[in-house]
């Protein structure tokens, strides 16, 4: 049996035997015949009229062997033919259908035929019903996939290419997110092909028509639309009437089709045939090609002035006309060659259909790529704006189009919006971004401002669009429609980073799955958006470079410590003597060192945590200090920053770097113009200098040269190609950035620098003020019941029982006050932070959590509230003070308010700074990274007197800020006061290093006291006491603090006359009142110097107990003592500035006194000293945890 066709069979009979045969092969009847028996085989066609069969040798007489020469030879009946598919490039199974019923699956490159033959005159329609993911298959000649059967077999040719058809182009993955960090994109705009800008070694915008293997020698003339097939990028070279092809790896460019520079073209079909020839490659002619799209096999060209859609076979370069009669107008037609367009601007292939933006007809048209049939898909033809079903929707000069999923996205230029058309149901049109007013302000969805959006592209996850006249490339994150600006905003031609990149008329965009490309009309170039980062040391457990493998080499063994985000082992601490980190090799971009040749635009940033020192210290350097390259230096005495470029120093910065506190520093170079930034703010240094070639590699915390090594911590060192703009630098300078949905650092404005568009509007007259670090214009002060700030309809603010954290630095001058609020004024549906008269509230409106605040008026404190859906927690100065199980269902917020409750009540009076809202619960270490160290984070705090809680002079009372002052009053806890006017000390806001202090004059017997008969936790035998002081003179014994009765109490004092047993001149001592001995420090301390003194005594036995002291840390010495400081019963009392009596008065400044009821561990004592060091700008010897 041979020649059977699919789904056919024949019946063979011999005597009583019958066989039904449905495939080719040899077959045997079951019954045996004797020799001499007559046989005759008969054939009946069982099915398919398309089958014909011939039977031969069908009868005879059985001899002495088997009969094997009976033959059935079948084939197609006359007038029947088969449809087959010839496929190349298969990456797996591909399934085809013919006429929606006949199915075949092909798994390798071959010719396969459909099962059902068709007769002459029958219709056939071959479609691709499924294909293996990662393979894009299309008909080599789409028109051959359907038609009428003639008198020969039909073979449809299919070509497959690897990749995915996304956004009308081929990309390597189904979904790519080219810009996952749109809040901090840090991108570089680089010229890929064309005459490079001057800052990249070129001569600037030059048009022409030149192919070359060198990208910088290629010339275009007004390039526009682009498409990619996975290997090449195709460009519509508008004024050259050419389609150019670019090797996306090397930039080599050739002319692929158009120009009619060779013979062989034929006049296009249509009404108007001006400048239109079909033909192969360069024999063809286009009339102002404007936009491109592809399915990987065919390239579709949209002509602006030709008003046509042309098709190029990417294998043969054969150009044909698919749709458009060449005239300007509007008409749909099933015969595409009779349809008309009016200067169409964009085209995309999506879900097997071509979609065209017919700009001046204000319509979206659909074109069948097989038949060329043209129909209107959306729009009425009237310019305007209306979201409705597609047939009723109204557009105004739509330009760009791209398909993704079940939607088409349209850039509606005249309406300054991005619109979306559903491909389901009645195809409703909705607006996803922008509003009627033009602008270029990032925000979410329709709250964002767009300015005439032009081209659209997708990376398979989100949208990217160009603003033609504002020279911007922007991004829409489809998950929440957040609009972000990526690069541009300056007119000109300059390769640079972010908003410092300059463009002229960015026209069309293309994602090839690796990069985003821009065709730039007036610069006649193809440009590419790249990651600007070229080196990053995150220090997450090592010194490796996470970008370019230029790993850091450790010198001297710096230790891993916690970083600025509270992450353990994510920063390095350097000793200031021998320790630093060196890059393995010279940092280069395009083969050139930083600052050299065309590499004169770069940015370097780092987090630093200085311990201080008297000499100038190197933060980082590239080259040999004071000889070549450049060096960022921390000046020893002022802690201000400056640069060395070669041997030339810059001016000095304006913001002192705080001690033992994380600070972000940035250096930028923009064509030899240098800038320094501190915490995202410019130091206003104007410095121009060209670098010599560096003779040493990039180094951190030290370098080649005579300057001192850096003492302190360094984290997250980053180098960027290009000069980052101020917005990008501010975002780099955010501590604990993950999950931020609003962040108001108040550095000169009320902008939200989280990138979520929650900028606040000032209501009333809040004004800029000095922040907690003494920096001007870095906080806001609120003075009346009319002062507050708000954001209407804030973005991404937590709702329901979703996780959250809200933090704020606050210096309140009254209570009760509201700090931050959002949600609704309904029980359990609001959320915010507030201060009561004696408590902190993390509230849900009526359903609230509270904890004591120990009198916080007048001083900067850090407050955080967290909520995990079940429990609310309040952190006060980095210390977890309360956890409460609570149920909240926060309503969607109509307004986010600062300094006012959501129901317009309870205003704020005082200063606010660094307000943060997160969509997650911060860990304790993250909150402490934001708050810094504080005595409340150490157990046993009994007394805490801070000069910054006083705001008036003379001082009538000094409030205790320890947990003992639960009433938050002047008499609460261990507060002290002075009823006698003549003995009241004075107060100064700039007493010690421009920080507050209480000034005692011994001649006037100044002192503060508490003789109420009650004090808390001071009559302990073991203790640790800290004092920040400045002594004016050596006048006998000068008491800092005295507690308890005589005898048995204790006094902490300076004995300049040796008046007490065991004391010595100029020693800081603690004596047991009326006792025979005292514990003293081992070195003398002269007056006129600000210091942090610590004394600690651990009473373990009655005989020998460890006693230690230090000045500015670490521990100075340890001795043993048998003193017992627990006083007998008697009249209690607390005296500050004098001994109980009062006598032995202090002469100088006391800024802070802290008392614990135990001998603190070294780590706990270090933490308190670190708190005092950063607050009073006093260098200490011990290391700080955060």
Q: Is the pLDDT of residue 1128 over 70?
A: no
* Average pLDDT for the chain: 93
Please tell me the distance from the alpha carbon of residue 800 to that of residue 1110, in angstroms, as a whole number.
Answer: 52
pLDDT of residue 686: 87
pLDDT of residue 127: 97
pLDDT in tens, 809-865: 999 999 999 999 999 999 999 999 999 999 999 999 999 999 999 888 899 999 999
Q: Is the pLDDT of residue 1107 over 70?
A: no
| pLDDT tier at 958, thresholds 50, 70, 90 | very high
Q: Is the pLDDT of residue 584 over 50?
A: yes
Please tell me the distance from the alpha carbon of residue 843 to that of residue 915, in angstroms, as a whole number.
Answer: 16
Task: Specify burial of residue 869 (Cβ count, 10 A radius: 0-12, 13-18, 19+).
Answer: middle
| Domain ranges within the chain, ordered by starting residue | 10-76, 80-162, 169-215+223-531, 533-723, 740-932, 939-944+1009-1176
Q: Which CATH class is domain 740-932?
A: mainly beta
Q: What is the dihedral of CA 421, 427, 431, 437, to 10 degrees?
A: 90
pLDDT in tens, 500-538: 999 999 999 999 999 999 999 999 999 999 999 999 999
Q: How far apart are the first and last CA of the chain?
A: 88
pLDDT of residue 184: 86
Buried b (16+ CB within 10 A) or exposed e, 220-257: bbbbbbbbbbbbbbbbbbbbbbbbbbbebeebbbebbb
DSSP state of 944: E
pTM, two decimals, is: 0.91
Q: Residues of the chain with pLDDT > 70: what percent?
A: 95
| pLDDT tier at 1067, thresholds 50, 70, 90 | low
pLDDT of residue 1082: 46
Region 1106-1124: what's the mean pLDDT? 69
Report which of 242, 210, 204 is spatially closest to residue 223, judged by C-alpha positions: 242
Dihedral of alpha carbons 828, 832, 837, 839, sign: positive
pLDDT of residue 1087: 66
- Supply the CATH classification number for the domain 80-162: 2.60.40
Q: Would you say the CATH fold of 740-932 matches that of 80-162? A: no
Please tell me the distance from the alpha carbon of residue 884 to that of residue 874, in angstroms, as a whole number.
Answer: 9
| pLDDT tier at 1072, thresholds 50, 70, 90 | confident
If one compares 557 and 1053, the residue with the highest pLDDT of the two is: 557
Q: Which two tokens stand for residue 907?
A: 């205003």
| pLDDT tier at 1104, thresholds 50, 70, 90 | low
Q: Which CATH class is domain 533-723?
A: mainly beta
pLDDT in tens, 551-565: 999 999 999 999 999
3-state secondary structure of 1138: coil
| pLDDT tier at 1143, thresholds 50, 70, 90 | confident
Residue with tokens 């240098």: 674
Cβ neighbour number for residue 521 with a 10 Å cutoff? 22
Q: Is the pLDDT of residue 1101 over 70?
A: no
pLDDT in tens, 341-393: 999 999 999 999 999 999 999 999 999 999 999 999 999 999 999 999 999 99
DSSP state of 394: B
pLDDT in tens, 1148-1183: 999 999 999 999 999 999 999 999 999 999 999 889
The CATH number for 939-944+1009-1176, chosen from 2.60.120.200, 3.40.50.12780, 1.10.10.10, 1.10.238.10, is 2.60.120.200
Classify domain 169-215+223-531 by CATH architecture.
6 Propeller (2.120)
φ/ψ of residue 324, rounded to 5: 100, 130
pLDDT in tens, 851-910: 999 888 899 999 999 999 999 999 999 999 999 999 999 999 999 999 999 998 899 999
Please tell me the distance from the alpha carbon of residue 730 to that of residue 499, in angstroms, as a whole number.
Answer: 13
Q: Which two tokens stand for residue 593?
A: 């060192």
């Amino acid at each position: 049996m041979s020649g059977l066709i699919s789904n056919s069979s024949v019946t063979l009979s011999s005597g009583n035997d019958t066989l039904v045969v449905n495939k080719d092969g040899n077959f045997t009847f079951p019954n045996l015949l004797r020799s001499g028996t007559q046989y005759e085989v008969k054939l009946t066609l069982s099915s398919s009229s398309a089958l014909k069969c011939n039977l031969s040798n069908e009868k005879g007489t059985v001899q002495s062997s088997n009969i094997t020469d009976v033959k059935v030879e079948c084939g197609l009946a006359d007038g029947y033919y088969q449809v087959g598919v010839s496929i190349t490039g298969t990456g797996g199974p591909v399934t085809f259908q013919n006429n929606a019923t006949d199915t075949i699956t092909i798994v390798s490159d071959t010719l396969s035929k459909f099962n059902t033959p068709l007769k002459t005159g029958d219709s056939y329609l071959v479609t691709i019903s499924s294909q293996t993911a990662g393979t894009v298959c299309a008909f080599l000649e789409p028109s051959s996939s359907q038609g009428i059967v003639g008198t020969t077999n039909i073979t449809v040719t299919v070509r497959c290419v690897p990749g995915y058809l996304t956004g009308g182009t081929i990309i390597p993955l189904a979904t790519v997110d080219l810009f996952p960090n749109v809040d901090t994109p840090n991108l570089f705009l680089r010229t890929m092909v064309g005459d490079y800008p001057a800052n990249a070694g070129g001569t600037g915008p030059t048009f022409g028509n030149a192919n070359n293997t060198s990208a910088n020698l290629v010339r275009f003339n007004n390039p526009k639309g682009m498409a990619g097939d996975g290997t090449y990028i195709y460009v519509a070279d508008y004024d050259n009437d050419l389609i150019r092809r670019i090797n996306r790896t090397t930039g080599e460019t050739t002319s692929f089709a158009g120009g009619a520079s060779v013979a062989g073209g034929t006049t296009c079909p249509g009404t108007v045939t001006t400048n239109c020839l079909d033909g192969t490659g360069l024999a063809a002619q286009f009339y102002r090609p404007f936009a491109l799209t592809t399915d990987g096999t065919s390239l579709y060209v949209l002509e602006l002035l030709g008003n046509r859609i042309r098709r190029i076979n990417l294998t043969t370069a054969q150009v044909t006309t698919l749709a458009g009669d060449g005239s300007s107008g509007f008409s749909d037609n099933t015969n595409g060659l009779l349809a008309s367009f009016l200067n169409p601007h964009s085209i995309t292939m999506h879900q097997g259909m071509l979609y065209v933006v017919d700009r001046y007809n204000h319509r979206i048209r659909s074109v069948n790529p097989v038949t060329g049939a043209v129909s209107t898909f959306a729009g009425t033809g009237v310019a305007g704006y209306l979201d409705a079903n597609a047939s009723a929707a109204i557009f105004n000069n739509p330009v760009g189009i791209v398909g993704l999923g079940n939607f088409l996205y349209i850039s509606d230029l005249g309406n300054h919006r991005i619109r979306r058309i559903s491909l389901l149901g009645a195809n409703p049109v909705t607006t996803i971004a922008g509003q009627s007013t033009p602008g270029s302000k990032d925000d979410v969805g329709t709250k964002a401002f767009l300015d005439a959006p032009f081209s659209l592209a997708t990376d398979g996850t989100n949208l990217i669009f160009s603003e033609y006249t504002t020279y911007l490339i922007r991004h829409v994150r489809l998950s929440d429609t957040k609009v972000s600006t990526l690069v541009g905003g300056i007119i000109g031609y300059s390769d640079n980073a972010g908003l410092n990149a300059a463009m002229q008329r960015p026209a069309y965009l293309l994602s090839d799955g690796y990069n985003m490309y821009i065709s730039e009309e007036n610069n006649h170039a193809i440009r590419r958006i790249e990651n600007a980062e070229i080196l990053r040391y995150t220090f997450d457990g090592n010194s490796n470079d996470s970008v370019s493998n230029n790993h850091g080499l450790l010198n001297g063994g710096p230790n891993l410590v916690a970083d600025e985000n509270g992450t353990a082992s994510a920063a390095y601490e350097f000793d200031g003597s021998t320790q630093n980190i060196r890059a393995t090799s010279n940092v280069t971009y395009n083969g050139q060192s930083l600052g050299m040749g065309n590499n004169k635009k770069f940015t370097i940033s780092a987090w630093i945590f200085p311990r201080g020192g008297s000499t100038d210290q190197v933060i980082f350097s590239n080259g040999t200090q004071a000889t070549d390259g450049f060096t960022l230096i921390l000046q020893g005495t002022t802690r201000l920053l400056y640069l060395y470029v070669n041997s030339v120093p810059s001016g000095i910065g304006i913001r002192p770097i705080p001690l033992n506190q994380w600070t972000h520093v940035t250096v930028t170079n923009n064509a030899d113009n240098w800038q320094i930034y501190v915490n995202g703010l410019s130091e206003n240094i104007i410095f121009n200098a060209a670098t010599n070639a560096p003779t040493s590699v990039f180094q951190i915390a030290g370098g080649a040269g005579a300057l001192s090594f850096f003492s302190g911590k360094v984290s997250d060192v980053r180098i960027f190609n290009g000069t980052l703009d101020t917005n990008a630098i501010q975002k780099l300078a955010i501590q604990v950035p993950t999950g931020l949905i609003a962040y108001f650092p108040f550095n000169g404005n009320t902008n939200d620098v989280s990138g979520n568009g929650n900028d606040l509007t000032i209501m009333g007259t809040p004004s800029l003020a000095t922040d907690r670090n003494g920096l001007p214009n870095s906080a806001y002060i609120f003075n009346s019941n009319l002062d507050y700030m708000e954001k209407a309809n804030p973005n991404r603010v937590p709702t329901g029982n979703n996780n959250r954290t809200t933090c704020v630095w606050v210096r309140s001058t009254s209570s009760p006050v509201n700090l931050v609020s959002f949600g609704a004024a309904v029980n359990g549906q609001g959320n915010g932070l507030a201060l009561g008269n004696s408590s902190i509230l993390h509230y849900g409106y009526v359903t609230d959590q509270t904890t004591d605040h120990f009198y916080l008026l007048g001083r900067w404190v850090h407050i955080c509230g967290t909520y995990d859906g079940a429990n609310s927690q309040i952190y006060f100065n980095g210390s977890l003070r309360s956890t409460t199980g609570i149920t909240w269902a926060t309503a969607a917020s109509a307004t986010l308010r600062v300094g006012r409750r959501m129901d317009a009540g309870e205003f704020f009076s005082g200063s606010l700074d660094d307000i943060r809202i997160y969509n997650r619960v911060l860990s304790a270490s993250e909150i402490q990274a934001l708050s810094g160290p504080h005595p409340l984070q150490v157990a046993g705090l009994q007394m805490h007197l801070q000069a910054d809680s006083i705001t008036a002079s003379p001082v009538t009372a000094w409030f205790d800020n320890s947990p003992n002052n639960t009433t938050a009053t002047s008499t609460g806890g261990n507060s002290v006061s002075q009823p006698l006017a003549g003995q009241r000390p004075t107060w100064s806001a700039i007493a010690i290093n421009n920080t507050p202090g209480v000034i005692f004059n011994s001649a006037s017997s100044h002192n503060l006291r508490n003789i109420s008969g009650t004090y808390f936790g001071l009559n302990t035998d073991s203790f640790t006491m800290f004092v920040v002081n400045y002594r004016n003179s050596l006048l006998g014994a000068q008491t800092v603090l005295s507690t308890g009765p005589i005898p048995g109490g204790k006094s902490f004092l300076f004995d300049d006359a040796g008046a007490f047993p065991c004391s010595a001149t100029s020693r800081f001592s603690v004596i047991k009142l009326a006792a025979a001995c005292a514990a003293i420090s081992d070195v003398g301390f002269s007056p006129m110097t600000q210091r942090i003194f610590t004394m600690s005594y651990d009473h373990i036995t009655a005989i020998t107990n460890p006693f230690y002291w230090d000045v500015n840390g670490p521990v100075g010495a340890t001795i043993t003592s048998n003193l017992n400081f627990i006083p007998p019963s008697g009249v209690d009392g607390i005296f500050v500035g004098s001994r109980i009596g009062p006598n032995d008065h202090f002469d100088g400044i006391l800024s802070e006194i802290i008392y614990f009821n135990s001998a603190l561990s070294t780590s706990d004592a270090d933490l308190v000293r670190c708190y005092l060091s950063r607050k009073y700008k006093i260098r200490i010897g011990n290391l700080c945890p955060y």
